[in-house]
Amino acid sequence: MSSDGQLLLTVTTNHIASLWDVGTATCLCTLEGHKDSITGAAFDGGGFHVATCSKDSTLRYWSTLSGAIHLNVHFPYRCDSRPLALAHSGVANWL
């Protein structure tokens, strides 16, 4: 959930994340592109971006306003079950 409590991010077993407006229970956009299970997700401090990581060895940084991918990083290892957190600067950190 975003820090202001207005947005909720859900992930499904079909490699898709969805961004929801909590007040209206409306799906604002779907975040598609991962090729394997999403294993972590986090909002940035302002709620304008969300990061997702996946077993497909990618971390993706998405706009919550448009659903567009702003960054796609491929790692040389699988992101199986690493909790994900974003610093206020927007930098992703593995916990």
DSSP code per residue over 20-68: EETTTTEEEEEE---SS-EEEEEE-TTSSEEEEEETTSEEEEEETTT--
Instruction: Give the pLDDT confidence score for residue 9 in this predicted structure.
Output: 95
More confident residue, 28 or 88: 28
Q: Is 36 exposed, middle or buried (0-12, 13-18, 19+ CB in 10 A)?
A: middle
Q: Does some domain include residue 70? A: yes
Q: Does some domain include residue 20? A: yes
Residue 95 has pLDDT above 60, yes or no: no
Total structural domains in the chain? Answer: 1
Range(s) of the domain holding residue 45: 7-94
Residue 94 has pLDDT above 60, yes or no: no
pLDDT, tens digit, for every residue of 33-84? 999 999 889 998 888 899 998 989 899 999 999 999 999 988 877 666 556 6
Q: What is the CATH number of the domain that holds 87?
A: 2.40.128.630
Q: Assign 19 a pLDDT band (cuts: 50, 70, 90).
A: very high
Q: Does some domain include residue 33? A: yes
